Structure 1
Amino acid sequence: FTVRLADGIADFQGRLEIYYEGEWGTVCNDGWDYNNARVVCNQLGYGYPLQSLISSGYQGDTYQRIFLDNVDCSGSESSLPWCSHSTIGVHNCGHSQDVALECSS
């Protein structure tokens, strides 16, 4: 799936969203760590992750589905789909737990 950072002040920061079956959805921060962020920043063509952002500042809209939870990357994957994660659409999260991050440009 395609990934993007949405609603940031620049393309290299914002809420992490994935495009799946014709819609954009969010990723829950359960278990989110530096290795996960590193894979996303690399997939997007940016440098290393600078920081995780306060999720509540980048909450997804209530109509958005939460697609991924329990993402676990080693850091060497070329893209997010290669990381371990829960079944798409299965989660125990609310939008206040959406992943948001900033990558070095």
Structure 2
Amino acid sequence: MLAPWFAARTAAEAEEGLEGTSVLWSRYRTFEDLAAGGAAALRGEPLMAPLDQPGVGPHLAPGGPLLLDGRQVPPSPAPELGEHTDEVLADLLSLSPPELASLRADGVVA
């Protein structure tokens, strides 16, 4: 259904036709294209934003693809290993804080 529309247009015409619409689109890029342009190739992309990931350092990362109240959710660092262990165990196993402390003291949970 879409192939004939794209086949009848140049890349510039397709870009002009899609600009300003609610269609999620982007020009196809290979990894070689990205490497040739470096991180600068992604800086203008609305989905990408700087992120300083502990243990990795600063880099461009994708944020949320949806606009909520006209704002896009920026990227956030990945959680540290074990960061949510207490929350998960308390929620899934209904463990109390003293029970979690006991598991930690016994070396069951690091």
TM-score relative to the length of structure 1: 0.20
Q: Which has the higher contact order (CA 8 A, sep 6+)?
A: 1
- Which has the larger strand fraction? 1
- Which has the larger helix fraction? 2
TM-score relative to the length of structure 2: 0.20
